Amino acid sequence: MPEASPSKWHLAHTTWFFETLVLQAHAPGYQPVDSRWARLFNSYYEALGPRHPRPQRGLLSRPSLAEVWQYRRQVDDAMQGFINSAGAAEWSAAADTLRLGLHHEQQHQELLLTDILHAFSLNPLRPAYAPAPERLPDTTCPPLRWRSMAGGPVQVGHEGSGFGFDNERPRHTCWLAPHALASRLVTCAEYAEFIADGGYRQASLWLSDGWAEVQARGWQAPAYWLARAADGSHGDGYDHFTLHGVQALDPTAPVCHLSAYEAAAYAAWAGARLPTEFEWEHAAAQQSGDGSALLQQLHGAAWQWTASAYTPYPGFRPLAGPAAEYNGKFMVNQLVLRGSSLATPPGHARLSYRNFFPPAARWQFSGLRLARDEVSA
Amino acid sequence: MPEASPSKWHLAHTTWFFETLVLQAHAPGYQPVDSRWARLFNSYYEALGPRHPRPQRGLLSRPSLAEVWQYRRQVDDAMQGFINSAGAAEWSAAADTLRLGLHHEQQHQELLLTDILHAFSLNPLRPAYAPAPERLPDTTCPPLRWRSMAGGPVQVGHEGSGFGFDNERPRHTCWLAPHALASRLVTCAEYAEFIADGGYRQASLWLSDGWAEVQARGWQAPAYWLARAADGSHGDGYDHFTLHGVQALDPTAPVCHLSAYEAAAYAAWAGARLPTEFEWEHAAAQQSGDGSALLQQLHGAAWQWTASAYTPYPGFRPLAGPAAEYNGKFMVNQLVLRGSSLATPPGHARLSYRNFFPPAARWQFSGLRLARDEVSA
Amino acid sequence: MPEASPSKWHLAHTTWFFETLVLQAHAPGYQPVDSRWARLFNSYYEALGPRHPRPQRGLLSRPSLAEVWQYRRQVDDAMQGFINSAGAAEWSAAADTLRLGLHHEQQHQELLLTDILHAFSLNPLRPAYAPAPERLPDTTCPPLRWRSMAGGPVQVGHEGSGFGFDNERPRHTCWLAPHALASRLVTCAEYAEFIADGGYRQASLWLSDGWAEVQARGWQAPAYWLARAADGSHGDGYDHFTLHGVQALDPTAPVCHLSAYEAAAYAAWAGARLPTEFEWEHAAAQQSGDGSALLQQLHGAAWQWTASAYTPYPGFRPLAGPAAEYNGKFMVNQLVLRGSSLATPPGHARLSYRNFFPPAARWQFSGLRLARDEVSA
Amino acid sequence: MPEASPSKWHLAHTTWFFETLVLQAHAPGYQPVDSRWARLFNSYYEALGPRHPRPQRGLLSRPSLAEVWQYRRQVDDAMQGFINSAGAAEWSAAADTLRLGLHHEQQHQELLLTDILHAFSLNPLRPAYAPAPERLPDTTCPPLRWRSMAGGPVQVGHEGSGFGFDNERPRHTCWLAPHALASRLVTCAEYAEFIADGGYRQASLWLSDGWAEVQARGWQAPAYWLARAADGSHGDGYDHFTLHGVQALDPTAPVCHLSAYEAAAYAAWAGARLPTEFEWEHAAAQQSGDGSALLQQLHGAAWQWTASAYTPYPGFRPLAGPAAEYNGKFMVNQLVLRGSSLATPPGHARLSYRNFFPPAARWQFSGLRLARDEVSA
C-alpha cells in the first residue's frame, strides 16, 4: 500500500524532523549527519526540497537499520546539547517547533503500529508483533443509550496555552441542530449483524463512491476480519488479524478498521448517521465538564469517523515556516476522525484533536459512534 | 473523459427519466417504448436495475439518433396524454416527480453544452458549436471591492413552496464569522497575472492533492486556454476554445473552466480564500433583500467554487423512491459551487441552489469569487 | 477496445491512403480535400506527421459521416482522373503504391467487420449487422486426419510478379523437421470438450502469459460465446454473438475468435501443437500443386494461429518511402496467422500471406489447425 | 520494479528449490523446515501450489534474514546427508534434478546482482555493492571486422551428455542464409554516437512497440547512464551507475543495459541488424572448432540480444514433473539472448545456452553484436 511506510523510515523521519526543523534552524553551527538523507526522510515538505517517492520507501536497503539507529542517537545527543545550552532567545525561537516535534513523533508512534499491522497482514505467515495478552474475561457490553443534545451556538476548537495543532484553531462559534449521540461505539457483534443482513450487498445504504469501492475491492467485512468458513461466508463467524496475530473477535469490542464508507453505510442501516465533528467535540466537552459518564469510549478505544469534511476553521492560519505544510495543505478530500485509539500514545489526544484520513482508508484503528437528528421542541 | 456523455445519450436519458419515474410509475397501463433501453439510459439509479457502463456510452451506435428522437416524441406524446387525463389522485402522486423531471432536464441542458465543448476540444479540427456572436465592445471591468459581512447566526437553505432539490433542505441556522466578499468574480486578466507570477510552479500556494494534479496533468492554465506562443509560454497571451471556436480572451470576462484546486491556489496567491457556501448564500440573500448591487455576477456569469464540502444539511431527508439517489449518495469527495453560469437555463438557478463537482473537475463553467476573514470589532 | 476503430474512420482512412500516397505523391497539382484531415486519418505513419490518438477515434463527431462520404467521392474522382491521364512515367512511379492501396483497402474491409462485431457485442441490444442467412442443413464434419509431411529444406515466401506484401519476401529456404498436420480446423464441438474438461482451469496447459490473461480477464470460452445457463456454466451449451445477432453454435463449424493462448492451450490438451507458418505454407503449396485435398479449410474458414513469431525473412527489405512503415515496424510481440477467414475479401489471400496479431487478440476471425512432431524414419 | 526481487528472497528461493524438488521428492522421511514457506519462496510453479504475489516479495519482513540463513544451513545439511546416504536407485531418480538445482542457483547468482544494481540505482545515495577495482589502463578497442558466413543447413542445439536445459534440445537442423557477423560487440563510444545523432528521436529507426516505450518512459540513453550536463544533454558525456557506484564510462567497453528495442534501433542506424540465435550459435561453434579468434566477446562481456523469438525447438519436450514449468511456459513474447555476461558464474554458459527476456527489459547485462545479410555468390 503506497500510504504505508517501513518502520525504519518512521524512525529516520521523526529524527530528521528534529534535525531539520530544530537543530538546523536553531542550533548554531549544527551540521547534518548526512546531507543526502534529507531527500530520503522528508515526508511531504515541498519547501524543504525534493523527496524520495513515497511508494519507493520500502526499497531503501541503505542506510541500514543500524545506521538509522546511529543517526537517531547522534540527533538525540545534539538535541540534548541544544536544550542544555540554548540561551533564552534561542529557546524562545525553537520551543514551539521542538514541542511540535514531540507531538509529531507521537503521531508516528501510532502510524508505526498501523503500518506494521498492515505489512504483517500481507504476509501469509501472519506474524505477531507482540504476544497476545492473557485474555481477560469479556466485559459485558453496556446497552447503547441515546444522549440528547440541545441545539444552538457552541464554542469549538482549541483554546488556552496548552499544545494544539494549527488545524484546531481558532476557537470559534458554530451552531448545532438538536441531535442525539450514542453512549458508546458500535460493537463487532452489531457490525456482524449488518453483514449478516446483507449490508455489503445493498447499494441503497452506501454513498456512491463507497459502493464503487465495495465493488472494486470486494469488501465483505472490515479490514483484517477473516471469515472462518472455507467459502468466505460469515455463517461461522470471523476471526481478525491483530498485532497479536490471528485472534477470535470479541463481540463486545468496538468494531475497528472501517472506512468512512462502511461507517456511513452501517449508520444508514441502523437508521442513524455519523456525528459531525462539532457534535462530537461539544458533547465530549460537556462530559468532561460535569464529571458524569454520559458518553463512553470517547478516547482510547477507536478513532471515530465523523460526517465532517476536513476543512479550515474560520480564521485558520497555518504555522510559519516549513511547518506551514503540516496540516493545512491536506484540507480537501479527507474526513475528520475524533477521539483516539488503543494505539494512541497516552496524553496525545485532546477534545479538540482533529485526525483526518481519506474516506476509503481502513488501515487505521477507525470505528464509529452513531448520531441522529432530533426534532427541536 | 469518462465523465462526459454524447449528446444522443443526454437526449435519451432525460426522456427515460420521464418515462420511468412518471409514466411507468403513474400512468395506468403505460408500456415502455423499448424495455431494453432502461439499461442504456439509466445514469446511476441502482434501484432501477443494471446500467450500461458510463465510459462505454460513446460506443452505442444503436439505437440511432433518429430512433432516439422518435423515442422522445413518443414519450412527449404520452406525457401530454397523461397530463391531460390524469385524475386528481394520479396528479397528486406524480406532480412532484414531473416537476423534478423538468429541473433534471434543465440540468442536462447545461451538461449537454459542457460535454459538447469538451468533445470538440479534443478534435483537432476545433469545430464550433455555434457561430460567434457579433463582438460587443468590451465593457470596462469595474474595480473589485470588498463587501464586509458581520458574523452571527443566519438562516440558509430552501424554504417555501417553490421548487428546490432535496439537498437544499431543510432551511436551518448556521453561524458565520465576520468576513468580506469580493464584489465581482476574478477576471481572465487577473488570473493571467497569477500565471505570469509563476502560480502553477509554486507548491506553497496549492492544496496537496491539487499540486499532485498540476504535476500529473501538466496544468499551466485553465482548461481550454491556448497559449499563443509556439513554445507554450504565456508571453504572447492566450486564446481560448469556446462553443464558438477559438476566440481571443476577453480580459474583463470572468475566468472560467477552473478546478477548485486552481481557484483555491489563486485565492491563496491573492491573500484571500474561497467563500463558504453559506457566506455566499447569505450575502446573495441580503442583496436580493435590499435591492442594491453590492455583489455582481451572482448569477449567469460562472459557477463559483466554494470552500464547502458537499455534505447533508442537518435533518436532510432524501426524496422517497428511486429519486432518493438523485443527490444524497454523492455527498462525499465533492465541493459545492454556487450561483449559475452563462449556460444555465433561465429560471433554473436559485439562491439556495447547490451545484457540486469533484475538486479536479474543469469542464464545467466554473470560476471564483474571493473571500477573506475579517476581525470582529 | 483501443484496437478497434469506428466504421467512419475506416472509410476515411482508406480514402486518405489513396489521397496521400498516390495523389499527393504523384498527381501533379493535386490539393488535398482538407489538409487538417491528415492528422485524423493517418493510422500509424510516423513519417507522415502527427496523428490523432487511436483510442480517441471514436470521439470524432466531426467531420460527419456525410462529409466523409463526400471526401471519398472526391478522392475516387481524382483517382479516376489520374488513372485516365497519367503518362507512362507517372504511371510507372505510382502503380505499385496504387496496387498497395487496393490491398490495403481489402484488409480494412475485413477489419470493418471485425470492429463492427466487437462494437455491437458491447451493446446490450445485441444489434445484428445483417439478417441471418437461411440456415443450411449442417454439413457432416469429416473426421480429422493427420497428414504426414517429410522434413528437409523447403522454399517459402512470395515469388513471381504477382502482388505480395514486403513481409512475404524474399522467397528463401527453411528447414522443416518431420511433422504432421490436421486435415481440417478444430471445430466448436471439439473446443467445447476442452472447456468441459476444465481446459480454462488447468494452468499446466497454458503459456504463462496466457494463463495470466485467463485470470485477469476471466476467460471461460472463446470471445462472443454466450453460455445458455443462467449461472454461466456450460452444461446447457453455448450460443454465440455474430454479425447476424445471437445464433446457436454450429458444432461442426470451425471454432473462431480465439486468442493464440487459447489455441495453444487447446493444442496442448489435445496432445498436439500449433503448426509453424512454414509448415502451413509448405503443406498448402503441396496441396495446390497436386490438386488433391489433403488439407481442408486452408482458406475462407478462419485465420489459423501459428507458433511462429512475426519476424523478418532473411534479406527482408521494407518498401521505400512512407510505405516502409506498412509491415516491418510491427515485427515483434506478434504471432503469424495463415490462411484467410470467411470475412476476407475474395482474391485477397495467398499461400504466402502473413497476417499477424498479438497473442491475446480475440476479435479477429481466428481459429486453429493442429500439428504434431513426427519422428523421422 | 515488479520483475526484481530482494536478495533475501533469492537466497530463500534457491534453497526452497533444493528442498522441494530434491529433498521432499526423493529423501525418505524429509520434513520441510517450515511448510508455510512454500508459498513465499515458490517463484512461478503453478503445480506446486499458491504463491505469494511477486510484486509483494519486497514486503516480507518475516522470515528475517537470519532465519533464511538458518534455513539455508539446514537444507545444505540435509542435502549433504542425502548425497552421502542415497542408494543407487534414489540417486538415479534425483541426480538430474539436483544438477538442475545447481544450474538454477547459478542463474540466480547473476539475477541477484542485476536486482541489487537495480535497487541501488533507485536509491539517491547511490550505494556501491563493492569497491571499484583498481582501474586498469584502457585497452585499445580493436576495429570492428565483419566475418562472412556461408549459408546452408547447420546443426544447432545441445547435444551430448553434458548438462543443458530442456529449451536447448533437441539438436536439429536449421537453414541459414549467407550473412556476416561483427567481430566484437558494439562499444559505449559507438552507442554514444547513435545518441548524438538523434537516435532516440528518429521514429523510423525503431520497432513500433519500441518507439512507444521510448515515448512512454522517456528513454534517452541505456539504463544507468547518467548525463553529466545539468540539463540532461549528452554534450558533456555520460557516467554510468554500476555495482561499484557511479563510474566514468569506458568508451571501449561493450555497451550494456540495453533493451532489445534499443539494440535493434542501433543496428538499423548502423545499416545492420541483430543476428538470429542460430547465426550466433553456428558462428560460435565454428570458432571453437578451429581455435582461431574470428569472433571476440562471445562470452563474459555482455548478453547479446538476438532477433529470434524464444520459441520451442522442433520436437521440444519439457522436463517431467514440476520442472516442466522451468522454461517451456515462457515461450512467447520474449527474445533470445546468447553468450554470457561479466556477471555470469564461470562455467555456467554454453554455446547452446538460450537466455530470454521481454524486449523492453534493460536491467540485465544486455548488449549487442551486429549482423547483416550477405548476397550469396
Q: How far apart are CA C115 and CA D167, in angstroms?
A: 38
pLDDT 10s per residue in chain C (377 long)? 778 899 999 999 999 999 999 999 999 999 999 999 999 999 999 999 988 888 888 888 999 999 999 999 999 999 999 999 999 999 999 999 999 999 999 999 999 999 999 999 999 999 999 998 876 655 678 899 999 999 999 999 999 889 999 999 999 999 999 999 999 999 999 999 999 999 999 999 999 999 999 999 999 999 999 999 877 777 788 999 999 999 999 999 999 999 999 999 999 999 999 999 999 999 999 986 555 678 999 999 999 999 999 999 999 999 999 999 999 999 999 999 999 999 999 999 999 999 999 999 999 999 999 999 998 65
pTM above 0.95, yes or no: no
User: Which among D48, D333, D372 is the top mutation candidate for probing chain C, defined by the most C β-carbons within 10 Å of its own β-carbon?
Assistant: D333
The answer, for D62 touching chain A at a CB cutoff of 8 Å, is yes
Look at A62 and D120 and tell me if their CB atoms are within 8 Å.
yes
Spell out the residues 6+ positions from residue C253 whose beta carbon is closer than 8 angstroms to its own.
C187, C188
- Which residues from chain B sit within 8 angstroms of residue A46, using beta carbons? 203-204, 211
Spell out the residues 6+ positions from residue A359 whose beta carbon is closer than 8 angstroms to its own.
A207, A209, A210, A259, A260, A261, A334, A335, B332, B333
List Cα–Cα distances, A149 to A49, A350, A376, in angstroms.
48, 21, 10
User: At CA D328, angle to CA D325 and CA D329, rounded to 5?
Assistant: 70
Contact B258, B269 (CB under 8 A): no
Q: Which residue of D has its CA nearest to A125?
A: D36
Q: How far apart are CA C10 and CA C3, in angstroms?
A: 12
pLDDT reading at A138 higher than 90: no
Q: What is the dihedral of CA C119, C124, C125, C130, to 10 degrees?
A: 30
Q: What is the pLDDT of residue C287?
A: 81
Give the tens place of pLDDT for each residue, A301-349.
Answer: 999 999 999 999 999 999 999 999 999 999 999 999 999 999 999 999 9
The answer, for D35 touching chain A at a CB cutoff of 8 Å, is no
Q: What is the pLDDT of residue D377?
A: 53
Q: In the numeric block, which cell numbers belong to residue D313?
A: 525447438
Using CB atoms, list chains with 3+ pairs below 8 Å to chain A. Answer: B, D
Contact B64, B53 (CB under 8 A): no
User: Which among A61, A71, A117, A246 is the top mutation candidate for probing chain D, defined by the most D β-carbons within 10 Å of its own β-carbon?
Assistant: A61
Contact A221, A185 (CB under 8 A): no
Q: How far apart are CA A95 and CA A90, in angstroms?
A: 8
User: Which among B48, B173, B175 is the top mutation candidate for probing chain A, defined by the most A β-carbons within 10 Å of its own β-carbon?
Assistant: B175
Q: Do chains D and B touch (3 or more CB pairs under 8 A)?
A: no
Helix or strand (DSSP H, E) at D284:
helix D277-290
The answer, for B119 touching chain C at a CB cutoff of 8 Å, is yes
Q: Which residue of C has its CA nearest to D46?
A: C203
Q: What is the pLDDT of residue C58?
A: 84
Q: How far apart are CA B203 and CA B272, in angstroms?
A: 17
Give the tens place of pLDDT for each residue, C57-79.
Answer: 888 899 999 999 999 999 999 99
Q: Do chains A and C touch (3 or more CB pairs under 8 A)?
A: no
pLDDT 10s per residue in chain B (377 long)? 778 899 999 999 999 999 999 999 999 999 999 999 999 999 999 999 988 888 888 888 999 999 999 999 999 999 999 999 999 999 999 999 999 999 999 999 999 999 999 999 999 999 999 998 876 655 678 899 999 999 999 999 999 889 999 999 999 999 999 999 999 999 999 999 999 999 999 999 999 999 999 999 999 999 999 999 877 777 788 999 999 999 999 999 999 999 999 999 999 999 999 999 999 999 999 986 555 678 999 999 999 999 999 999 999 999 999 999 999 999 999 999 999 999 999 999 999 999 999 999 999 999 999 999 998 65
Q: How many of the other CB atoms lie within 10 Å of CB of C26?
A: 19
- Give A29 to chain B, closest Cα distance, Å: 28
Using CB atoms, list chains with 3+ pairs below 8 Å to chain D. Answer: A, C
Average pLDDT of the residues of chain D:
94
- Give D198 to chain C, closest Cα distance, Å: 15
Q: Which range, A34-38, C308-312, D290-294, is most confident?
A: C308-312
* A:148-167 residues touching chain B, CB 8 A cutoff: 151, 153
Q: Do chains B and A touch (3 or more CB pairs under 8 A)?
A: yes
Contact C82, B82 (CB under 8 A): no
Count CA within 13 A, CB hemisphere, residue A108: 20
- Give C35 to chain B, closest Cα distance, Å: 10
pLDDT reading at D127 higher than 60: yes
Q: Could you give all domains of chain C from N- to C-terminal order, each with its CATH number?
A: 7-121 (no CATH), 146-373 (3.90.1580.10)
The answer, for C120 touching chain B at a CB cutoff of 8 Å, is yes
The answer, for C330 touching chain D at a CB cutoff of 8 Å, is yes
Q: What is the pLDDT of residue C229?
A: 85
Look at C58 and B63 and tell me if their CB atoms are within 8 Å.
no
The answer, for B52 touching chain C at a CB cutoff of 8 Å, is yes
